[in-house]
Amino acid sequence: MYTTCIFCKKPLHSNEVVEEFPVGRRLAFDPAKGRLWVVCRKCRRWNLTPLEERWEAIETCERIFRDTRMRASTANIGIARHREGLDLVRIGEPPRGEFAAWRYGARFGIRRWRAGLGSVAAGVAGGMLGPVSLPIVGTLGVALTGPYMAWTYLRPIAKVRVGGKASADGPVSSESVAKFRLLDVKSIRMLPDDGAPGFGVQINRGLRKAWFEGEDARRVAAAIVPFVNQWGGTRDTVRRAVNEIESSGHPSRFLTEVANREHGGLTGRTGYVRAMPTPLQLALEMSLHEEQERRANSSSDTRVSPTQSSASSRSHV
Ligand SMILES: [Zn+2]
């Protein structure tokens, strides 16, 4: 059982309410699909729990949820706050759109808020110094921003394992780790590719153009696109992002479609994630995240089928 957020590495804290799963102060669960997440209170991302720890904990969540006065709910999502300070988010087969808007709204909102706070702080500091000290600030600024900018843009911000391929009969190529810098992030392109998942990723790494395909493309895109979206988005933008995915019908189809789409502008400049409209950028991140989660889940869901479990949980009622 993990105790820190897999995304931001901050502690998930504990609860004394769900005996079978004492990790986390906010749990989200889907009783029909048998999924349980710990929602990180720092970065608001959802940590999917391993299969072995889920089922009994979900039944307990369901019981507590029913016994707790509901705080807020829509047709398919309910939130309950237990008096011991545990939040429960219950997902009951909502349409994907409602679920996604709800789930990503908070995450992109908090990013937006943080980014805004940063620029306000810079503005206040600038205002306080006033025009008199401008020459000094200027000199200092030149001295400081150089190394600071270099550090910001050149330090590695993401490491992704790539190249690990095992075929049934052939040799196994060894994995390596690709490191990316903020400078590289700006160059990410999603372009059509014949093989699964239907798109490839091109990134400039220094003077080299690196091309990733197959599982690597998915992994690299999932690691890099959130950096393009560091400004987050409003609820309205998130809603438009959800509609983008909805119009394709499925996150994986959406990803392929985006890679094959003409984004206007100059020829030879297609596929640049940074040049896409914000809703599309957010939609990319959401789809990549959901695909990642779906794959993780389908590889672990072989032991118990969700239908078996929901039948057994119903018999307890
Ligand atoms: Zn976190």
* Residue 251 shares a structural domain with residue 173: yes
What mean pLDDT is predicted for residues 281-287? 93
* Residue 62 shares a structural domain with residue 197: no
Report the C-alpha dihedral over residues 219, 240, 259, 198, rounded to 10 degrees.
Answer: 60
pLDDT of residue 201: 94
Q: Is residue 308 part of a domain?
A: no
Q: Of 94, 117, 135, which residue sits at a domain end?
A: 94
Phi and psi, residue 177, nearest 5°: -110, 125
Contact of 216 with 162, CB cutoff 8 Å: yes
More confident residue, 56 or 317: 56
Q: Is residue 317 part of a domain?
A: no
Q: Is residue 292 part of a domain?
A: yes
Could you tell me the distance, in angstroms and rounded to a whole number, from the CA of residue 159 to the centre of ligand 1?
Answer: 17
* Rounded Cα distance, 48 and 29, in Å: 10
Q: Is residue 3 part of a domain?
A: yes
Could you tell me the distance, in angstroms and rounded to a whole number, from the CA of residue 161 to the centre of ligand 1?
Answer: 21
Q: Is residue 106 part of a domain?
A: no
* Residue 265 shares a structural domain with residue 171: yes
* Residue 76 shares a structural domain with residue 190: no
Q: Is residue 143 part of a domain?
A: no
Strand-pair partners of 165: 173
Q: Is residue 112 part of a domain?
A: no
* Residue 84 shares a structural domain with residue 167: no
* Residue 172 shares a structural domain with residue 76: no
pLDDT of 51 strictly over 90: no
Low-confidence winner among 38-42, 44-48, 73-77 (lowest mean pLDDT): 73-77
pLDDT tens digits along 12-29: 999 999 999 999 999 999
For 12, the enclosing helix (H) or strand (E) is: none
* Rounded Cα distance, 312 and 306, in Å: 10
Cis ω before 197 (30° cut-off from 0): yes
Could you tell me the distance, in angstroms and rounded to a whole number, from the CA of residue 108 to the centre of ligand 1?
Answer: 13
Q: How many domains does the chain have?
A: 2
Neighbours of ion ligand 1 (CB under 5 A): 5, 7-8, 40, 42-43
Q: What is the 3-state secondary structure (H, E, C) of 138-204?
A: HHHHHHHHHHHHHHHHHCEEEEEEECCEECCCCCEECCEEEEEEHHHHCCCEEEECCCCCCEEEEEE
* Residue 273 shares a structural domain with residue 182: yes
Could you tell me the distance, in angstroms and rounded to a whole number, from the CA of residue 74 to the centre of ligand 1?
Answer: 25
Strand-pair partners of 26: 87
* Residue 164 shares a structural domain with residue 275: yes
Could you tell me the distance, in angstroms and rounded to a whole number, from the CA of residue 8 to the centre of ligand 1?
Answer: 4
* Residue 68 shares a structural domain with residue 159: no
Containing structural domain, residue 32: 1-94
pLDDT of residue 149: 63
Strands (E), the chain: 26-30, 35-39, 46-48, 70-73, 77-81, 87-91, 156-162, 165-166, 172-173, 176-181, 189-192, 199-205, 208-212
For 134, the enclosing helix (H) or strand (E) is: helix 134-154
pLDDT of residue 110: 77
* Rounded Cα distance, 59 and 65, in Å: 10
* Residue 90 shares a structural domain with residue 162: no
* Rounded Cα distance, 115 and 112, in Å: 5
pLDDT of residue 285: 93
pLDDT tens digits along 137-175: 445 554 555 666 666 667 778 888 888 665 444 445 667
166 Cβ contact list (under 8 Å, min separation 6): 172
Number of H helices and E strands in the chain, helices first, is 9, 13
Q: Is residue 269 part of a domain?
A: yes
* Residue 160 shares a structural domain with residue 294: yes
pLDDT of 121 strictly over 90: no
Phi and psi, residue 5, nearest 5°: -65, 130
pLDDT of 190 strictly over 50: yes
pLDDT of 113 strictly over 60: yes
Could you tell me the distance, in angstroms and rounded to a whole number, from the CA of residue 266 to the centre of ligand 1?
Answer: 39
* Rounded Cα distance, 113 and 44, in Å: 13
Q: Of 41, 71, 94, which residue sits at a domain end?
A: 94
Could you tell me the distance, in angstroms and rounded to a whole number, from the CA of residue 215 to the centre of ligand 1?
Answer: 24
pTM reported for the whole predicted model: 0.63
